[in-house]
Chain A
């Protein structure tokens, strides 16, 4: 009944596909890192596990889609969650669209950029910092006419009200975005525009964007030196 099949072996976790009382599920199991001190390793792993589950729930309570959690096993640091049916990552989706026709890709992807901006705005309005925003940590499901965006992989998340943390969160996404997808600065600007338009508190939004600019500048200096 409970055949686990390995889907992905990552740096921190293994992902399996399994069955949970008749429902297809994903088992995300964080494994031991032998180079870390065992006590530190256990603490870190438990923290990531808790952060992941907590942010998943907080997002969903705010109306942001996340996979349903079926079980948390602290014994082996694993989470059982809903397998999102026929989902593809935003990363795969962008690559696919770009492959079809590079010249129109940014236009085709614009509605998705708007949706990402709205979702991240809602997440930050609820003081949830994702901590690892990449296009692999966003899933798409459903019909192309009514596509749904889900957020996953909250192991590095935290709860912070500060503009600095939110700005850094956006910076992490910008770096991941531009390095995974060539010629997408325009698309990323579209995400930011939608983020700004969706965020109700304009003053705090302006602070977040100015933090983003600050971090960008620091990042650039660092690359010039290093």
Chain B
């Protein structure tokens, strides 16, 4: 069984979402390729990810906004990053949710990766294959996540953190008053 997942979008089944986890790698070169536009993928910080469902919810939303023509950032891969973050500030979102050069683990999310071409390219650059997504739970920093998404103790009494986070991702532009399109 492949370690990564690749699933059709819930509204547009001909579009796909790929999520993969890499461990014990150096992100530097991969980030350079992404920044230069040589490879179009989204690089997410593993400490901010509880499980693949959280990434799927953000990617699902980004692909939907792309289809609707209401993205806030310049392409669907930056939009995945922005959707994952609870912040309305784009550069702040990239800072706290995007993988950094010094990170040794990374979650890769890809929209419409035909024949896994880009995923293979990522594996090649990193010199590693993706590992099981279940390992995400070991890498998540739940304290940091709780703080970033402003989840209160009251809420954690009745919900798990993942549901709290997922609801905020889906409802971001509705609960964040003021600027931004809805």
Tell me, in angstroms, the Cα distance from A19 to B53 when the chains sit together.
13
Of B60, B154, B158, which is within 8 A of A21 by CB?
A: B60
Given known pairs A2-B13, A21-B53, A57-B167, the reply for A73 and B182 (CB within 8 Å) is no
Given known pairs A70-B166, A71-B60, A75-B68, the reply for A20 and B171 (CB within 8 Å) is no
Contact B152 A70 (CB under 8 A): no
Contact B8 A1 (CB under 8 A): yes
A26 at the interface (CB under 8 A from B): no
Contact B166 A68 (CB under 8 A): yes
Instruction: Give the secondary structure class of B's interface.
Output: helix
Given known pairs A53-B174, A61-B152, A71-B64, the reply for A21 and B56 (CB within 8 Å) is yes
B155 at the interface (CB under 8 A from A): yes
Contact B157 A60 (CB under 8 A): no
Interface residues on B, range: 20 to 34
Of B60, B61, B158, B166, which is within 8 A of A65 by CB?
A: B158
Chain A residue, CB-CB nearest to B150: A61
A97-130 CB contact bits vs B (8 Å, 1 = yes)? 0000000000000000000000000000000000
Residues of B within 8 A of A22 (CB): 53
Of B60, B154, B168, which is within 8 A of A62 by CB?
A: B154
Interface residues on A, range: 20 to 34
A96 at the interface (CB under 8 A from B): no
Tell me, in angstroms, the Cα distance from A1 to B13 when the chains sit together.
9
A63 at the interface (CB under 8 A from B): yes
Chain B residue, CB-CB nearest to A78: B11
Of A50, A57, A63, which is within 8 A of B154 by CB?
A: A63
Contact B174 A63 (CB under 8 A): no
Q: Which of A51-91 contact B (CB under 8 A)?
A: 53-54, 56-58, 60-65, 68-75, 80, 82
Tell me, in angstroms, the Cα distance from A71 to B56 when the chains sit together.
11
Chain B residue, CB-CB nearest to A18: B10
Residues of B within 8 A of A72 (CB): 170-171, 174
Contact B175 A20 (CB under 8 A): no
Residues of B within 8 A of A1 (CB): 8, 13
A1-39 CB contact bits vs B (8 Å, 1 = yes)? 110000000000000001111110000000000000000
Chain B residue, CB-CB nearest to A148: B158
Of A18, A46, A71, which is within 8 A of B170 by CB?
A: A71
Tell me, in angstroms, the Cα distance from A148 to B148 when the chains sit together.
28
Chain A residue, CB-CB nearest to B61: A71
B7 at the interface (CB under 8 A from A): yes
Given known pairs A2-B13, A73-B11, the reply for A61 and B174 (CB within 8 Å) is no
Chain A residue, CB-CB nearest to B159: A60
Contact A68 B167 (CB under 8 A): yes
Interchain residue pairs with CB less than 8 A apart (14): A2-B8, A2-B10, A20-B10, A21-B53, A53-B171, A54-B175, A57-B167, A60-B158, A60-B159, A68-B166, A71-B64, A72-B174, A73-B11, A80-B10
